[in-house]
Protein backbone atom coordinates (compact mmCIF):
# COMPACT_ATOMS: atom_id res chain seq x y z
CA UNK A 1 0.00 0.00 0.00
CA UNK A 2 1.94 3.03 -1.28
CA UNK A 3 0.82 6.11 0.62
CA UNK A 4 -0.66 3.97 3.38
CA UNK A 5 -1.70 6.95 5.50
CA UNK A 6 -2.85 5.54 8.88
CA UNK A 7 -3.47 2.04 7.48
CA UNK A 8 -7.26 1.99 7.08
CA UNK A 9 -7.19 0.66 3.50
CA UNK A 10 -4.30 -1.65 4.35
CA UNK A 11 -6.21 -3.29 7.19
CA UNK A 12 -9.42 -3.53 5.14
CA UNK A 13 -7.52 -5.15 2.25
CA UNK A 14 -5.84 -7.62 4.57
CA UNK A 15 -9.14 -8.73 6.06
CA UNK A 16 -11.44 -8.61 3.01
CA UNK A 17 -9.09 -10.15 0.45
CA UNK A 18 -7.35 -12.66 2.73
CA UNK A 19 -3.89 -11.30 1.88
CA UNK A 20 -1.03 -13.22 3.49
CA UNK A 21 1.49 -10.35 3.68
CA UNK A 22 1.21 -6.64 3.13
CA UNK A 23 3.83 -3.89 2.72
CA UNK A 24 2.81 -0.35 3.73
CA UNK A 25 4.82 2.69 2.66
CA UNK A 26 4.09 6.11 4.16
CA UNK A 27 6.48 9.09 3.77
CA UNK A 28 4.81 11.45 6.26
CA UNK A 29 6.31 10.93 9.73
CA UNK A 30 3.16 11.83 11.68
CA UNK A 31 0.97 9.51 9.60
CA UNK A 32 3.64 6.80 9.72
CA UNK A 33 3.62 6.99 13.52
CA UNK A 34 -0.16 6.51 13.55
CA UNK A 35 0.20 3.67 11.05
CA UNK A 36 2.67 1.93 13.39
CA UNK A 37 0.34 2.37 16.35
CA UNK A 38 -2.66 1.02 14.43
CA UNK A 39 -0.77 -2.04 13.21
CA UNK A 40 0.55 -2.78 16.71
CA UNK A 41 -2.93 -2.31 18.18
CA UNK A 42 -4.35 -4.89 15.76
CA UNK A 43 -1.43 -7.23 16.59
CA UNK A 44 -0.93 -8.00 12.92
CA UNK A 45 2.41 -9.67 12.29
CA UNK A 46 1.99 -9.96 8.52
CA UNK A 47 2.15 -6.22 7.82
CA UNK A 48 5.57 -4.70 7.12
CA UNK A 49 5.73 -0.91 7.17
CA UNK A 50 8.29 1.64 6.03
CA UNK A 51 8.66 5.37 6.51
CA UNK A 52 9.70 6.03 2.93
CA UNK A 53 8.63 7.43 -0.43
CA UNK A 54 8.39 5.69 -3.82
CA UNK A 55 9.28 6.96 -7.25
CA UNK A 56 10.32 6.01 -10.75
CA UNK A 57 13.98 6.95 -10.49
CA UNK A 58 16.55 8.99 -8.68
CA UNK A 59 15.36 12.57 -9.10
CA UNK A 60 15.03 15.61 -6.92
CA UNK A 61 12.48 14.73 -4.29
CA UNK A 62 9.89 17.32 -3.43
CA UNK A 63 7.71 16.53 -0.44
CA UNK A 64 4.96 18.80 0.71
CA UNK A 65 2.36 18.26 3.39
CA UNK A 66 -0.26 20.96 3.74
CA UNK A 67 -2.25 18.76 6.12
CA UNK A 68 -3.45 16.46 3.36
CA UNK A 69 -6.95 15.23 4.12
CA UNK A 70 -6.90 12.58 1.40
CA UNK A 71 -9.02 12.19 -1.69
CA UNK A 72 -6.68 14.40 -3.72
CA UNK A 73 -7.73 17.48 -1.75
Q: What is the mean pLDDT of residues 33-55?
A: 86
Q: What is the mean pLDDT of residues 45-71?
A: 72
Q: What is the pLDDT of residue 70?
A: 59
Q: What is the pLDDT of residue 43?
A: 75
Q: What is the pLDDT of residue 32?
A: 93
What's the pTM?
Answer: 0.72
Contact in structure between 53 and 24 (CB atoms under 8 Å): no
Q: Strands (DSSP E) along the chain, which ranges?
A: 22-25, 47-50
Q: What is the mean pLDDT of residues 15-38?
A: 89
Q: What is the pLDDT of residue 73?
A: 47
Amino acid sequence: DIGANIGSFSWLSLVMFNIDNLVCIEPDWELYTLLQQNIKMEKSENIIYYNAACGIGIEDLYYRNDYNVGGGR
